[in-house]
Amino acid sequence: MRTETPQTIRLEDYRPSDHLIDRVDLDLRLSPHDTRVTATLAIRPNPAGEAGAPLVLDGDELILLGLECDGQALPADAFAATPSGLTLHRPPRRPFTLRIETQIDPTANTKLMGLYRSNGVYCTQCEADGFRRITYFLDRPDVLSVYTTRIEAGRDEAPVLLGNGNPGACGVIADTDRHYAVWHDPHPKPAYLFALVGGRLDRVATRFTTMEGRDVAVAVYVEPGKGPRADYALDAVVRSMGWDETACGRPYDLDVFNVVAVSDFNMGAMENKGLNIFNDKYVLADPETATDTDYANIEAVIAHEYFHNWSGNRVTCRDWFQLCLKEGLTVFRDQEFSSDMRSRAVHRIGEVRTLRARQFSEDAGPLAHPVRPRAYAEINNFYTATVYEKGAEIVRMIRTLLGPAAFRAGMDRYFAENDGRAATVEDFLAAFAAESGRDLSAFAGWYERPGTPRVTAAGIYDADARRYTLSLRQSLPSGDGAPLVIPVALGLVGASGPIEAACPRVPDGVFVLEATSDTLTFEGVAEPPVPSLFRGFSAPVRVEMNLGDAERLTLLRHDTDPFNRWQAAQSVAMRLILDRAGARLVEADEAGPAAEAYAAALGAFLDAEALADPAFAALVLALPSEGEAANEIGRDVDPDAVHRARQTLRRHLGRSLRGRLESLREALAQAAGAPFSPDAASAGRRALINTALDLIAMADPEAGTRAAEAQLSAASNMTDRLAALAILAQIPGKARETALAAFGERYADEPLVLDKWFALQATIPEAGTLDRIARLRSHPAFAMTNPNRVRALIGSFGLGNPTQFARADGAGFALLAETVEALDRVNPQIAAKLLTTFGSWRMLEPARSSKAGEILSRMQARPSLSRDVADILARTLAGSLTHS
């Protein structure tokens, strides 16, 4: 096998399909190794295409069994067929019907793209280009068709048969052990939204009446015996349907909405029309097996996939360069839903932490790309944090610029004008421009420019004139191009609270920075102010301003914006970590006078507010991660120095705040009570209880071990149990090994809990972790064919254990590279995702980056790489740092 040479696809080369497919009638006779697919396609020439062009259909590992055009078999010289494509040299120049019969092997399909089997359940994943693994087709998002699907299978093997749209005829096939079901979707859709499921499944169900009076049957299907763990997901579906009506005016449009959870899935979930297929980690939950984070993620992902019914399905993408149009918009929508379901401030902080950890590092490394890429070699490699998270921030900025009313009007116009169409970013922006009267052509630069902008701020206070002057300057890593349109939500804060000051250029607290630099003047400022910039994280930028710790802690005490209060504490902690890391200091018990002042400020904050808002307090106490610190340093990073610096500050806070932390744990434990509830308030109390225990254990490992063991034994829910185990996992000794062994035995039959167990061990920051991972790879529960398990062990190691992944001897890099090479033969898409953990290799100090470069170069020289992996390798090695 030779390495696949990726063909570069460019946005500028887009042209409409030469043919369209109006109707698709599919007949699938399911069998583990010999599934037969008959596709009857109603095709016509596209008036916008090239007249008389050949019909070129996509395929991937297909076996062609039969081919007819308008009921007649085609002669051999009329077509050319390979496993990867089917071409009709001279198709009719009028509407015609093409009947194609193919053979596929779902059981052998370890790529998990197209039709495959997961724990005996037939299921599909067709985005981005998996439908071509089922039948030959125009597998592109701008070809929209109406589908009718007949599914046939053995009654015992697959008693449940599900498809897109509404159910039709069903029955038993006479004199056989097989049955069938017909599904019809009246809404035209691209092939990537096709889905089917067949298997033995349990069902939980309810009904929902839409704002238009439609009675919808809502159901969640799971593996046998897991029905009770689907109740929360079912409730999340119903809440999502109601929210999309009240918040966005988007009613559901079919008679049924089905969710199916499977164990083997490359992605988190898939929004197939009327039949969402989920990785079961985003469906299954009960207090014994799921954490508060799991519950929140289930709620968010259920909402995300449901919201795609309008932002992605009813209005889809013209081409894959417009992926941000459906994903960025839908992430924004699910973020707003989660904010309404939970604490808006706490959720916003979580969103930004994710953005900075994943997207900022992506933007700073060799895999940086615009939110709308101009070219790609493998589209599966562009389902990235930039497209999703940064794409969502662009939508959020539009709302900030236009205001809620004009934003809603623009959204309504976008859906109305593009319903049933494949749209572009230009269509999206045009709807807002038309409703608001605002020219958004300059704002469109956010979609085209890679890298994270940096805004540098400087202020001068004139006490005599009672005037404050604030200067802002923006820059991009590339250093060229027109300035971006950046909404800056801001205010001024004084020693005792917010400062009211006049500045006509900041209406409603938002200034729009459109030039490379600009200056604002505030009059009537009675005291030296501290600027509170980018409130609510109003733009995805890095902010640089020479504020002292005392000024930042003033923001923590007195700012009215929760995000910037949290950011102030994070900024002080980050400076303390970076100062120690930069000096390459050893790990110590004391962190110095500045850390003392920081701890004192946190203590005062806890005294005043911790019991009133435990979730927010837990976030304020949580230090920036080692990855965030490395990204802030940007170059010549020594992961060991960063780790030592952060550990020193954690220990210092634990010792300084210990009395308060113990009192908080006691008070919150009494308030928590029973029974367990996953609501935001209860989750917030648990978060602070466990954050406090983590700091106590850092200050006093012996006391922390005793407390963690007690919590592990007494815990009534997985959140507290896993938090205790995570603390024990970081403390070497017999207690750790005993707890890990007991936990693994207790949950041996719970795959999703075992994923957590694998991940915890992979992130232990000790030299012996590589040997531990080698043992875990031989564990009976580890399987390279299960993406969740691979991500838990190997992905967690690469992303969550910087000291061991980036070991000076290169052994961590080698372990991950070996896994990628082995996995590439099984599931190239997951292998490529794992490989992206090397995205920050160039920012490491020279000895480590040299080791990483050597290993990546050796991998690139191998002759048998998939297109997915070859693409990531080429870009990782060719790219450079863009850290501004």
Phi then psi for residue 742, to 5 deg, are -65, -40
E strands, 239-334, in order: 256-262, 269-270, 275-279, 315-317
Neighbour-count burial of 496, counting CB atoms closer than 10 A to its CB (0-12 exposed, 13-18 middle, 19+ buried): exposed
CB 372 within 8 A of CB 321: yes
Total residue count of the chain as it appears in this document:
884
Distance of CA 403 to the CA centre of its chain: 27
First to last CA, the chain: 41
Could you say which of 271, 305, 327, 351 is catalytic? 305
CB 164 within 8 A of CB 277: no
For residue 280, give the amino acid letter: D
Count of other CB atoms within 10 angstroms of residue 831? 23
Strand partners, 189: 145
Phi then psi for residue 287, to 5 deg, are -60, -30
C-alpha span between 872 and 791 (Å, rounded):
17
C-alpha span between 529 and 542 (Å, rounded):
21
For residue 410, give the amino acid letter: G
CB 869 within 8 A of CB 4: no
CB 581 within 8 A of CB 647: no
Contacts of 475 (CB under 8 A, 6+ apart): 453, 454, 456, 516, 884
Strand 178-189 relative to strand 145-154, pairing: antiparallel
Count of other CB atoms within 10 angstroms of residue 12? 7
C-alpha span between 752 and 332 (Å, rounded):
27
For residue 532, give the amino acid letter: S
Enter the tokens of residue 22.
């109006």
**Type and span of the H or E element at 454:** strand 454-462
- How is residue 794 annotated by DSSP? I
Count of other CB atoms within 10 angstroms of residue 89? 12
Q: CA angle, 788 as apex, 230 and 855 as ends, to 5°?
A: 165
CB 409 within 8 A of CB 350: no
C-alpha span between 316 and 504 (Å, rounded):
41
Enter the tokens of residue 182.
């017909």
Name the region of 582 (left: φ>0; alpha: ψ -120 to 50; beta: rest): alpha
Active site residue 305: yes
Dmax (CA) of the chain: 98
Strand partners, 206: 218
C-alpha span between 510 and 525 (Å, rounded):
18
Three-class DSSP labels, 824-863: HCCCHHHHHHHHHHHHHHHHECHHHHHHHHHHHHHHHCCC
CB 300 within 8 A of CB 243: no
Enter the tokens of residue 702.
């012996």
In order, the DSSP letters of 183-241 are: EEEEEEE-GGG--EEEE--EEEEEEEE-TT--EEEEEEEESTT-GGGGHHHHHHHHHHH
3-state helix, strand, coil in the chain (%, to 5): 45, 20, 30
- Catalytic center residues: 305
